[in-house]
Structure 1
Amino acid sequence: MRIAFMGTPEFAVPSLGELIASGHDIVAVYSQPPRPRGRGQTVKPSPVQVLAETMGLPVFTPESLKAPEAVETFQSLDLDAACVVAYGQILLPAVLEAPRLGCFNLHGSLLPRWRGAAPIQRAVMAGDRETGVQIMRMSEGLDEGAILLSEQVTIRPDDTSASLAERMATIGAGLWPRALAAIERGGVTETPQAGEPTYARKIKPAEARIDWTRPAAQVDAHIRGLSPFPGAWFEAPGPDGPVRIKALMSAVAQGTGAPGQVLDGGLQIACGDGAVRLSRVQREGRAAQSAEDFLRGFALPTGARLG
């Protein structure tokens, strides 16, 4: 089939790789324009663009796929289907209707739970024990389309959003050849979503701050769900005033104390109910470190209170 692939982040790369290997004619790859990335804010192409250009595929990076000229270009591609994975732009009806067989999206949850921008982070933050990857037919509504294929994924107690996303990206990529084969022969079953939807709204900076008054299980899920980006954070007392520190990995631990109180010399912190032990942290402006390495250079005595 003549297909376009539309995706931007690392999560979409395995899907593009699988589609390249499947032998379909990828006539266009759409990705978000190059953006400033990394500590130096150097303008770089997206991971999807890098792979596409490496494989010699034509790449389109319009600032907006709503612009008339961008829509016309897409319509002129004479596509059988479009495969979308975390592209990052809303598709107009004129775009959705352009491919002969339709546009299809790989979504990182078991719909209708966690429709929206941050389904993997929200699932970990909510303490969900399972999630999944699904290929659905795209419609005008937000992640409201019928489901073609689905695979459940267990959320492990030590999963961060990064580790879970990596696993889900690989599993999801494997669904594409099966889905496209069924779509091509007209033998696909499309199942409407059922149940009350929940929404995975975009992560706001203000909600990244750790609330130590919450139960330990919720604090732990909050930390792992926001790791590595944007990173759940707290303030610790420093010699020149409060120091912001990101918590990148944690686990529920035994212990009691006032919320935010340091309970021992190994970064065990009291919560509203129970405690968590931080195992990986990052001081503002510095590289991530294990708790042991961090404590060698930053005094955080037992009894100190974190904000």
Structure 2
Amino acid sequence: MPASVLLLGSSDVTLTVAQAVDAVGARLSGIVTVGDSFSISYSEKRVANVRSADPAAWAQDKGVPIIPFTTYENVLERHQGKLPAICLVAGWYHMVPRRFREAFPRGCFGFHASLLPKFRGGAPLNWAILSGAKETGVTLFEMADGVDTGLIFGQESFPIAPNAMIGDLVVASRDACATLTKRHLAALLDGHAKGNPQEGEASYGLQRMPDDGRIDWAQSRLEVDRLVRAVSRPYPGAFTTLGEDRIQIWATRIPDEAPLVLGAPGQIVMLPDFDLPGVVTRDGLLLIEDATFPDGSSCLDKLRKAGHKRFAPR
């Protein structure tokens, strides 16, 4: 019988890794899931799992059990002392305690969407765009007591284009996870894989919440554009208000050439040079390409007619 793997996760990347495990002929003993929301220490309310993906249909077709998460002890007890060789953690939002990690004969390994030690911690893909990074990737590493501090067993990098949206990075990171799984899983299962210490200067990203997407129009147009791209679909989106209306802004563009517009940050303008509404920022004009009301309907036509009106500054 092929060596077996337990998988922890409840996101799109979890399903990608499950499919890659199956593709290399390893056996999944189960997928431990938390559903589309979960409790966590940094929030008083349950946190929405915005990248939630239910692997139930795929798992049922493959005969893989779905295990709803309650406690780590319950996961161990479910296996009645016959644990899989390794545990893989992909799309999981909780620290994995040592007592759980050390129960697996060959170890416990995770996927982190950065080139560790860069962007340890929360929201690494979002922070990569927000910080202006030109490259990021995914690291396969051994889970340890610290935050993303364990030995590295593989890395896969990809570029961040100047106008990359967070959705582009999500797809690239999924592909990288599949590549790393297929490249390294056999060696992890037979115990022949060799990990390397993390090298270079570490950086850390803190967890982000939906309210962090509120636009501050007094920032530069580059900063606003980065925020929009970093929290766009599948995330909740950047937002602002116009009177009583909440406006979700999904895509913006910094024009190559635009006349000087004198106005207050957040003031809306329609110029003959563009068919899109523009907004004044600290250092120039930013065009809005995609914006919706909370019900999902487009509000571009309303914004085109809102010249001289002002979004809330912050």
SS in 2 for 1:124: helix
Task: Give the equivalent residue in structure 2 for 1:24.
Answer: 26
1:125 counterpart residue number: 130
Do the aligned residues in 2 keep the contact of 1:137 with 1:147 (CA within 8 Å)?
yes
Is structure 2 residue 114 aligned with structure 1 residue 112?
no
Specify the SS of the correspondent of 2:268.
coil
Q: How does 1:274-293 map to 2 (within 5 A)?
A: 274-287=284-297, 289=298
Q: Distance in 1 between matches of 2:102 and 2:217?
A: 49
Q: Deviations over 1:60-109 (max 9, x none)?
A: 112332xx333433572322111110122321111101111101111101
Q: CA deviation at 1:141?
A: 1.2
Aligned match for 2:194, one of 173, 181, 189: 189
Of the three residues 264, 267, 276, the one matched with 1:261 is: 267
Q: How far apart, in 1, do the equivalents of 2:80 and 2:238 lie? A: 43
- The range that moved more, 249-258 or 267-276, is 249-258
Alignment partner, residue 204 of structure 1: 209
- The SS at the match of 1:174 is helix
Q: Is contact 1:125-1:226 (8 Å) kept?
A: no
Find 2:177's aligned residue among 169, 172, 193: 172
Determine which of 80, 83, 87 is the counterpart of 2:85.
Answer: 80
Which moves more between the two structures, 88-97 or 295-304? Answer: 295-304
Show the counterpart of 1:62: 69
Distance change >3 Å, CA 79–CA 20, structure 1 → 2: same
User: Cα gap change, 1:26/1:226 in structure 2, threshold over 3 Å: closer, same or farther?
Assistant: same
- Matching residue within 161, 168, 179 for 1:163: 168
Question: For residues 6 and 65 of structure 2, what CA distance do their matches in structure 1 show?
Answer: 10
Letter in 2 for 1:155: I
AA partner of residue 17 (structure 2): S
Shift, 1:269, TM fit: 1.4
How does the TM-score come out when normalised to structure 2?
Answer: 0.84
Paired residues of 1:11 and 1:166 also in contact (CA < 8 A): no
Per-residue CA shift, 1:32-73, capped at 9, x if unaligned? 14659xxxx9xxx842344323422111112332xx333433
Could you give the per-residue CA deviations for residues 100-119 of structure 1, whole angstroms, max 9, x where no partner exists?
11011111011111112211
Give me the whole-angstrom Cα distance separating, in 2, the residues matched to 1:206 and 1:297: 24
Distance in 1 of aligned mates of 2:15 and 2:254: 33
The alpha-carbon deviation at position 303 of structure 1 amounts to 2.2
Unaligned runs of 5+ in 2: 39-47
Question: Percent of aligned pairs with the same residue?
Answer: 25
- Choose which of 2, 5, 19 in structure 1 pairs with 2:4: 2
Q: SS in structure 1 opposite 2:29? A: strand
CA distance 1:77–1:249, shift in 2 (3 Å): farther
Confirm or deny: 8 A CA contact 1:121 1:225 kept in the other structure: yes
How far is 1:179 from its partner? 1.2
Residue identity opposite 2:22 in structure 1? I
Corresponding residue SS for 1:29? strand
Gap change, CA 1:98 and 1:252, over 3 Å in 2: same
Equivalents in 1 of 2:123, 2:11: separation in Å? 13
Q: What is the aligned length?
A: 289
CA distance in 1, matches of 2:281, 2:36: 41
**Structure 1 residues 123, 50: closer, same or farther in 2, change over 3 A?**
farther
Change (3 A) 1:201 1:64: farther
CA RMSD of aligned residues (A): 2.3
**Alignment match, 2:242:** 236
The one-character-per-residue Cα deviations of 1:143-197 (angstroms, maximum 9, x if unpaired) are 1111111111111223222221012101221111221122244443312112332
Residue deviations 1:115-146 (CA, integer Å, cap 9, x gap): 12211111112221111111001112111111
Distance 1:50 1:200, change over 3 A: farther
Q: Distance in 2 between matches of 1:197 and 1:31?
A: 30
Q: 1:189 & 1:78 partners in 2: Cα distance?
A: 22
**Structure-2 separation of matches of 1:127 and 1:64:** 38
Contact conserved, 2:277 with 2:303, CA < 8 A, in 1?
no
TM-aligned CA distance change 1:143 to 1:50, over 3 Å: farther
With over 3 angstroms needed to count, the CA separation of the structure-2 counterparts of 1:75 and 1:126, relative to structure 1, is farther
SS in 1 for 2:269: coil
Instruction: Indicate if the aligned counterparts of 2:84 and 2:104 stay in contact, CA closer than 8 A.
Output: yes
Contact 2:276–2:304, Cα closer than 8 Å, also in 1: no
